[in-house]
Amino acid sequence: MNTSRLFVLNVLLLCGLLLSAGFPLSAEAVGAPDYAGSQSCISCHQKEYNQWHSSGHPFKLRKIDGREPEWQAPLPPGWAWSDISYTIGGTHKKIRFIDQDGFIITTNKKGEKAPTQFNFEDGTWSNYHPGEKKPYNCGRCHTTGYSKEGFQEGRPGLIGTWVFPGIQCEECHGPAAEHVALNIKGKETKEGVKVDKSAELCGKCHNRGGLNGKIMASKGLIRHHEQYNELKGSRNKEKAKMECIECHNPHQSARHIVVDCASCHAEEAESLEKTPMPHQTVVCIDCHMPLGTKSATKYDDYSGDIRTHVFAISVDPKAKLTYKDAKGKEWGTGYVTLEVACLHCHKSRSANWAAKYAKGFHKK
């Protein structure tokens, strides 16, 4: 029997094993035999599957293909669901839309410039490259099994190809068809799947401009999805050494924290309890991880909609969260300023006022 025929028979056997065990295979997985699909993980990892499914990761890119979805979202002016091939995001913060040719929608249906990004948190529309012919080239961080070659489904605007839309289990754990097949046979092994607990695994997508400590910024706030850059670029060198999983369960939404700050910072937590802050429901992250980063919406001059991972606070009232280099490019400074840490609550005060109380705050 020749090699190609044997390969086909092995693929068919694996598909049969998966289906007989109650693991449905998607059409994409059948076309990529190394992949089993996230549905195959449910039987053994139901808890992790449920956590992941509600995290937002699987919906970074969602296939619509002209069908009105069961969930609700408004459409840009004049467009109908029959015009939409994919949506980008759409669970927590914002949603954008891709037309049937694979281009991100940046106009109304007449081709006129129009706000086409809907922001869920405040119900507003924002401009996203208005009027531009904008191909979708975000698959590296929005899909599973991405290749930069070709055009998904032959749509000219979809740059690259992928096995699954969204961040599925196998994007982090690797192609798992072998692992699933072995466990179906009763081996109960971790063989055939990877478990990478490094910050670099998260950082391959949660970065902007590369895995480095350079923090890109815009209009006074840090730009979104660069938590790795923030962490490594923090002026707090101990925090810069941390791994993401020390605080986060990688299967859950980032809003769920697995440890309390006091478990590592007992003295600081004790000193906080001696101030009026806890009585105002102020907790550690309100000051050390304020909303210094913007994804969809900006609430005021000092607040975006995502918590920063910089942690370190400068008590210099003249300090700024961002700066511009000689070429006019804006960068994060690596510390949180009093304006961002304090004035998002104390809006009628000044940085000079905040400096009087911030110096030596945890030593009082």
- Rounded mean pLDDT of 266-273? 94
Question: Looking at the domain assignment, is residue 110 inside a domain?
Answer: yes
Question: Looking at the domain assignment, is residue 162 inside a domain?
Answer: no
**pLDDT tens digits for 172-222?**
999 999 999 988 877 778 888 999 999 999 999 999 999 999 999 999 999
Question: Looking at the domain assignment, is residue 196 inside a domain?
Answer: no
- Domain hosting 120: range is 61-141
Q: Does residue 16 have a pLDDT over 70? A: no
Q: Does residue 1 have a pLDDT over 60? A: no
Quick one: CA dihedral 178, 180, 184, 189, positive or negative? positive
Domain check: are 241 and 284 in the same one?
A: yes
Q: pLDDT averaged over the chain?
A: 90
C-alpha 251/C-alpha 351 separation (Å) is 39
Domain check: are 316 and 343 in the same one?
A: yes
Q: What is the pLDDT of residue 4?
A: 43
Q: Name every residue whose Cβ is closer than 8 Å to that of residue 5 and which is 6 or more positions away in sequence.
A: none
In the chain, how many domains are there? 3
C-alpha 340/C-alpha 91 separation (Å) is 26
**pLDDT tens digits for 126-154?**
999 999 999 999 999 999 999 999 999 99
Domain check: are 217 and 100 in the same one?
A: no
Q: What is the pLDDT of residue 32?
A: 84
**pLDDT tens digits for 35-69?**
999 999 999 999 999 999 999 999 999 999 899 99
- The answer to whether 136 and 128 have CB atoms below 8 angstroms apart is no
